Amino acid sequence: MSTTVHMLWGVKDIRVLNSSSTLSSTMATISPLLSVKPTRGLVDEKIQIIVRNVPPRFPVTLHSLFHSEDKDYWEAFGHYTSDNRGTVTGTAHASVGGTYEGTEPMGLLWSMHPAPGSRTGLRLRKMNVLTPMVVHISVYSGHVTEGFSKQSPLATVDIERWYLAPGVRRIDIRDEEVKGTLFIPPGPGPFPGVLDLWGGGGGLVEYRSALLASHGFVSMALEYISTEKNRASNLHIKYFEKAFRIVQEHPLVMKDSVALFGLSLGTSITLHMAAYSKAVSPRCCVCVSGSHVQPINSPFKDVSEKFQENRHKIRFDEEGGVIWKDIMLPIPTDPGLKVDMGRIKCPVILIVGEDDQNLAAVESAEDLTQMMRAAGNEHLLTTFRYPGAGHLIEPPYTPHVRASKFMVHQTGEKVTMLWGGYPKPHASAQEDSWEKILRFLQQHLYPSQDSVPKAKL
């Protein structure tokens, strides 16, 4: 039988002596009682933190620490004062300082940032969804703002954060044409389906699909911009139609209940397919941080040519972060340069970050709404706009980054891309939009009782 030794941040000898040097002799030497529930939760589940048995009216710091797959350390902390019973409750007490303030039960997760001394331009993304994120939650004596690794906490618990619920299956899709990963919920099905499209960063990003499957949807994460040298990117509409078919024709998927879910460039593709594809029709579309502006009569690969033409519109912020939002401004009036929104026949939910610095999401939203109003199909559109939110609106409770390193595949350059957004409003946007998206998918992908009179259970 194995012995598992808990290694906290390089402090290998965990046999810490009974009295902590940061406590005075009048304080108790017994560990406070720290409880975090759930101990093993899904990434989008809320946690409840309760600290008990510290002295009354005692200053403490709640701290979170995560060691990423890329070997970076991310941390967050909040300053609290215990109440008269020596208790601190995350859902009831306010943080008076730290990486978050106010009564923010999830602040220890969404306000995480790279620990001092880390590499710059990091973004926290879980690439292996078969294992959880393990977060160490600690209580420190006093209001600490730095040097957490040099002090011993009063108490620590570990929690797991999973993208994958038990029983969800992960299947590699690697035929000669399509590369993706399919996630299937447990059970006999059939289930609604989702084709999950990320943005121009490329690669195969699985975590959102894993989480959707944990909510009962068969979801395929699709790679269409390759990061490998020996595999070409494929931005042809036929590629996406093929991928959509793979989901739709899966024996556990309800054919008429497949949605498209896009973020950024993925939204452009989603809108294009919904308007123009003769081969596939999504039941509904989720469009996050995207635009309908694109050259219509040429395939997506020409997007990069358009991009080159407009390079002069790229701006920079004071730290050298690249701002791309002006590239598509002003929104063209030429119909050949944007998706004909009047052709859309299915419900669309549009998620917009008002501080999006990467893409003109606000202006696009206004323009596409007007197009749909003029065409008479505006009733299909539901828009949620979030002030202070940036471009990367993802599933909730994972850290927001305002800027991060980005590889521009068209040119091979590595830049620091400014995404926009500020931690608190962006975190709220992620929490709220995810809930709205799940409800939207449930509402449209499960047939209502009166519309399926002949179906036998």
Partner 1 sequence: MTERAPSPLLLIHPSRGLIDEKFSVIVQHLPPFIEITLHALIHSDDGDLWEAFGHYVSDATGLVNVDSNASLGGTYDGLEPMGLLWSMRPVPGSRLGLRLRKKEVNTPVVVTISVYRGHMGQGFNEQTALASVVAERWYMAPGVRRLDITEAGVTGTLFLPSGPGPFPALLDLWGGGGGLVEYRSALLASHGFASLALEYMTPRTSGDSTSHVGNEYFEAAFTLLKQHPQVCGDRIAIVGLSFGASVALGMAVYSTVIQPRCLVCVSCSHVQPVKGSLSDVFADISKNAQNTRYDEENRVIWRDLLLPIPTDPTKKVDMGKLPCPVLLIVGEDDQNWPATESAEDMKQMMEKAGNSHLLTTLSYPGTGHLIEPPYSPHVRVSNFMMTQTRQKILVLWGGDTAPHSHAQEDSWKKTITFLEEHLYRTTSVTSQSQL
What minimum distance in Å lies between the beta carbon of 167 and partner 1? 3
Annotated catalytic, 93? Answer: no
The residue type found at 324 is W
**Exactly one of 188, 278, 318, 376 binds partner 1 (CB under 8 A); which one?**
188
Give min distance, CB of 447 to partner 1, in A: 7
Given the rule CB under 8 A, which of 26-34, 101-109, 203-211, 401-409 is the region that contacts partner 1? 26-34
Q: Which CB atom, from 55 or from 59, has the smaller least distance to partner 1? A: 55
Say how many C-beta atoms besides its own lie within 10 A of residue 411's C-beta. 12
Strand order in the sheet with 88-89: 33-37, 48-52, 88-89
Whose CA is closest to 341, among 399, 398, 268?
A: 268
Q: Which residues of 239-261 are buried (b: 16+ CB within 10 A; e: fewer)?
A: bbebbbebbbebeebbeebbbbb
φ, ψ of residue 51 in degrees (nearest 5): -110, 130
Nearer to partner 1, 33 or 407 (CB): 33
449 binds partner 1 (CB under 8 A): yes
Q: Under the criterion CB under 8 A, does residue 48 sit at the interface with partner 1?
A: no
* Residue 255 touches partner 1, criterion: CB under 8 A: yes
131 makes contact with partner 1 (CB under 8 A): no
- At residue 143, φ and ψ (nearest 5 deg) are -95, 95
- Dist CA 193 CA 222 (whole Å): 13
Burial class (CB in 10 A: 0-12, 13-18, 19+), 80: buried
50-69 residues in contact with partner 1 (CB under 8 A) are 52-53, 55
For partner 1, which stretch binds (CB under 8 A), given 92-100, 252-260, 315-323, 390-398? 252-260
For residues 354 to 383, the per-residue mask of contacts with partner 1, x marking binding by CB under 8 A and - elsewhere, is ------------------------------
Give φ, ψ of 431 to 5 degrees: -65, -50
Instruction: Please identify which residue in 12, 17, 21, 376 interacts with partner 1, judged by CB under 8 A.
Output: 17
Report the alpha-carbon distance of residue 244 to residue 116 in Å, rounded: 43
Terminus-to-terminus CA distance in the chain, angstroms?
48
Question: Looking at 23, 50, 122, 157, which residue binds partner 1 (CB under 8 A)?
Answer: 157
What sign for the dihedral angle of Cα 137, 140, 146, 148? negative
- What is the side-by-side strand order in the sheet with 133-141? 40-42, 155-162, 133-141, 59-67, 73-81, 113-114
**Segment contacting partner 1 by CB under 8 A, of 90-98, 159-167, 220-228, 402-410:** 159-167
Q: Does 455 bind partner 1 (CB under 8 A)?
A: yes
Binding of residue 267 to partner 1 (CB under 8 A) = no
Known catalytic residue: 340? no
Choosing from 141, 214, 257, 264, which is the catalytic residue?
Answer: 264
Q: Distance (Å, rounded) from C-alpha 212 to C-alpha 197? A: 13
Q: SS3 breakdown of the chain: % helix, strand, coil, rounded to 5?
A: 25, 30, 50
**142 lies in the binding site for partner 1 (CB under 8 A):** no
Position among 74, 148, 191, 239 found at the interface with partner 1 (CB under 8 A) = 191
* Cβ proximity to partner 1, 418 vs 441, nearer residue: 441
Tokens representing residue 373 in the block: 């109003």
| Binding segment toward partner 1, per CB under 8 A, in 164-172, 201-209, 227-235, 276-284 | 164-172
Instruction: Identify the H or E element spanning 275.
Output: helix 265-276
Q: Is 138 tagged catalytic?
A: no
Among 97, 167, 336, 387, binds partner 1 (CB under 8 A): 167
By the rule CB under 8 A, 162 interacts with partner 1: yes
Taking CB under 8 A as the criterion, the residue among 60, 65, 144, 159 binding partner 1 is 159
Single out the residue of 64, 99, 111, 138 in contact with partner 1 (rule: CB under 8 A).
138
DSSP H helical segments within 40-190, as ranges?
A: 107-110
The answer to whether 114 and 100 are in contact (CB under 8 A) is no
Closer to partner 1 by CB, 166 or 412: give it.
166
Q: Which residues bind partner 1 (CB under 8 A)?
A: 1-6, 8, 14-18, 20, 28-31, 33-35, 37-42, 45, 52-53, 55, 134, 136, 138, 152-160, 162, 165-167, 185-192, 214-216, 254-257, 442, 446-447, 449, 452, 454-457
Q: What positions carry a catalytic annotation?
A: 264, 356, 391
